[in-house]
Structure 1
Amino acid sequence: MGVSACGSDDGGGSTEAATATTAGSSVVAAARKTVEALSGPDGTYTSPPTSGPKATPGKNVWVIGFGNLSPASVALEKEWKGSLAPALDWNVKYVDGKSDPNAWLEGIRNAVNAHADGIVTQFVDCASVKSGLLAAKKARIPVISINGADCDDTPLFTAVTTSNYGSLDEANAAYGKIQADWVIADSDGKADVVAMENVETSGTKLWTKAWQDAMAKCEGCSTDSVTWSFADLGPKLQQKTQQALLKNPKADYVFAQVDDAITAGIASGVQAAGRKAKIVGFDCDPNVLKLMKAGKVAACFTATPTWPAYSAADGLVRAFAGEQPAKDSGRGLMLVTPDVNFPSDLSKYPEPAIDFRKIYQATWGVG
């Protein structure tokens, strides 16, 4: 009975092996197609809106950054003060949110008390600042969110900046799959991965699940998952990474999910383990670019914070004119490796070739 179950006489085993090989090849081929689309000078970015209302000068706008320990917030402040404010002739007050929900809430309340014309928040979920958003709504002050989740019961953001990957939830899922596709393509479907996974927020849960689901389709890949929290950033995350690599001496890839995790523990953990595993990150912040130049990071996907700064401003331009936000901002992703789209200027996030600033400003009738 055992012999017949093996199918040695009818060639069933060979058929099954061939089927598995074909399935594995199709997974690798699909992953390569994804990577190819991200590898051009624009990646998956497309043109921002080319039609819309003209901008109204003299507006008082408050921008609440997530926290200036994050390079994304530093870039946001620079873009608003150095580019958007003078182009639109708006008075811009930037608030360093200090990665603290209390500081975000205080910033929104102060903006309301100052009778701001508009408010922009960065990476701030509605639930964290609900009372402030209710106050802004009562005062009829539009609030545009950059990558923040709106409240489930009653949406309070005037608009949330969009990307070519759909809603915020859809985008988070797409990001996890894209990182998996790069690993699968780069390894020819044979990666051995230590996956440093975060599942603290609704966004990172979707991101992690999409990564896991995509990697599960790679039959020649293996993954050891390690969960980390934002409180681990620093020595604890370094220790977790080092221990995971020591337990898996064959691991040749490390999934870092987000760049803050790379610079706050994962890169140093790989080094402490004495390994040369390929780290795949996401945002391509300037600190990660420097690590990439030094051979310590293999790939990232630029999600420059300068483009959503402009799309948030576009949301306010439309809100001030009594119009609905644009459905598509054109924002996508672009692969960056030491050999693909690697920038000469490592002091800022890489940007696609599309001149989004010029296009937006022409749409607004400024610049």
Structure 2
Amino acid sequence: MHFRARFTTIAATIAAAGVLLSACGSDGSSGEPAAAPAGPTSGTAPRDALATDFASTSQQPPSTAPKPAAGKNVWIIVCGKIVTGCNVTAEMAREAGDKIGWKVTIFDGNLGVGDGYNNGVRQAIAAKADAIVLMGVDCSATRGALQQARAENIPVIATSAFDCDDPSVGAEPLFTAQLRPQDEYPKYAEWLQAWGAAKARWLISANPKAKVIVLDQVGPLSTRYATDGFLGELATCGGCEVVETVEFHTPDMASGVLRQKFASALVAHPEADAVASAFDSEILLGGVAQAVSSSGREITVMGGEALPANTQYIRDGRGQSAAVAYSFGWLGYGTIDTVIRVLAGAEPVAQGWGWQTVDAEHNLPPAGQIYEPALDYKTAYLKAWGAQG
């Protein structure tokens, strides 16, 4: 899930702009990206794992659940309604809550502007919420208000967020529970690393001698874990090499600094024939596709989560070659399933939330639409909850 609000306020703002560009059907560019190479035809990536990535790593949602308690008042503190990933996931969670008769309030954290996250939690406390959901909002960004929620015995459930006991923070954990993506990857950090590895598998198969420029956004935990997973898998490729790591801060995407840094890396490394980014906004807003076009070289570009503008790049064969997609809607329904269990005094279970590799020949969603898997997760959840569709 591309939740930029888990970073600093300015980080969230810039990334949100990238998402908005895709939502409006713009490619975020003024130039025309160069043609992207075709998808995998050979290579040394583990074939079984790669085939699974294409087929989808998603599993069945939980088949049973405690009976949802009646009439619950649930507040979702969303990173920012301006961010597509945050907003879609929250709205799907509200849809799921409506199906079981809950009142679900979405509070716009507004990317942390004006202490939005803490304000949201405090308003939820004042509204006598039965549960508070942090969606794309880290513990470290709202520690004070979370301590108040704990004092009021209000459970806090997190989706796509990091608790305060993450090694980068090293403080007391304050979440009551977190959404478990899969049994194999029960923690969000583990899931992100595995997702990053899937991106490397595609690249290795597409180009087993790839000379890669890696875009490395400094600071965000989600980017850090995803990039670590990518690099770990790339290291299994004997013929591949990272020729340069382009470090940048989030404001560099909008200011043009990232594009300048990336263009300089292309000049410095004429042998470079591949690019890897953690999330799609780096390609859209950071000017990466345009810099590739200006270079006149054939370069494979592996992107992020398959936002609509990025899948259009892939469809057109220009600016991006592949992505590893995931469902925001599934995450929303899985969030409500987790809340149901916490309120029933049960442990969270794996939600089956996975990914699916997308390239020009595989799994492209309809033009302009957000990716959704073939599996009907909504019906499965409603059946488990004993709810009507």
TM-score clears 0.5: yes
For residue 138 of structure 1, the aligned residue among 148, 151, 176 is 151
- Provide the secondary structure at the position in 1 that maps to 2:76: strand
If asked which structure has higher relative contact order (CA below 8 Å, sep 6+), I would say 2
User: 1:195 corresponds to which residue?
Assistant: 214
User: 2:109 corresponds to which residue?
Assistant: 97
Question: What letter corresponds to residue 219 of structure 1 in structure 2?
Answer: G
1:32 aligns with 2:54: no
User: 2:263 corresponds to which residue?
Assistant: 242
1:156 aligns with 2:168: no
Post-superposition shift, 1:249? 2.6
Q: Which structure 2 residues correspond to residues 1-367 of structure 1 after superposition, within 5 A?
A: 28-40=43-55, 43-81=56-94, 83-100=95-112, 102-152=115-165, 153-164=171-182, 165-187=185-207, 189-223=208-242, 224-234=244-254, 235-265=256-286, 266-295=288-317, 296-326=319-349, 328-348=350-370, 350-367=371-388
Post-superposition shift, 1:160? 1.2
Give the Cα separation in 2 of the matches to 1:322 and 1:337: 42
Gaps of 5+ in 1: 1-26
Give the Cα separation in 2 of the matches to 1:245 and 1:144: 43
Give the Cα separation in 2 of the matches to 1:334 and 1:345: 17
Give the Cα separation in 2 of the matches to 1:275 and 1:61: 52
Q: Is contact 1:240-1:269 (8 Å) kept?
A: no
Post-superposition shift, 1:144? 1.3
Post-superposition shift, 1:279? 1.5
Q: How big is the alpha-carbon RMSD for the aligned residues of Structure 1 and Structure 2?
A: 2.1
Could you say if the C-alpha distance between residues 184 and 30 of structure 1 is closer, same or farther in structure 2, counting changes exceeding 3 Å?
closer
Q: Is contact 2:310-2:320 (8 Å) kept?
A: yes
Gaps of 5+ in 2: 1-41, 166-170
Give the Cα separation in 1 of the matches to 2:260 and 2:124: 41
Give the Cα separation in 2 of the matches to 1:330 and 1:272: 41
- Count residues with an aligned counterpart: 335
Post-superposition shift, 1:56? 2.5
Post-superposition shift, 1:259? 1.5
Could you say if the C-alpha distance between residues 106 and 145 of structure 1 is closer, same or farther in structure 2, counting changes exceeding 3 Å?
same
Give the Cα separation in 1 of the matches to 2:228 and 2:174: 28
1:208-266 Cα distance to aligned partner (Å, 9 max, x none): 23322332332212222111222222222222222222222332211011112122112
**Higher Cα Rg, which structure:** 1
1:280-304 Cα distance to aligned partner (Å, 9 max, x none): 1121122322222232211111122
Identity of aligned residues (%): 30
Give the Cα separation in 1 of the matches to 2:51 and 2:45: 10
Could you say if the C-alpha distance between residues 293 and 63 of structure 1 is closer, same or farther in structure 2, counting changes exceeding 3 Å?
same
Could you say if the C-alpha distance between residues 97 and 288 of structure 1 is closer, same or farther in structure 2, counting changes exceeding 3 Å?
farther
- TM-score, normalised relative to structure 2: 0.80
Q: Is contact 1:237-1:264 (8 Å) kept?
A: no
Post-superposition shift, 1:167? 1.6
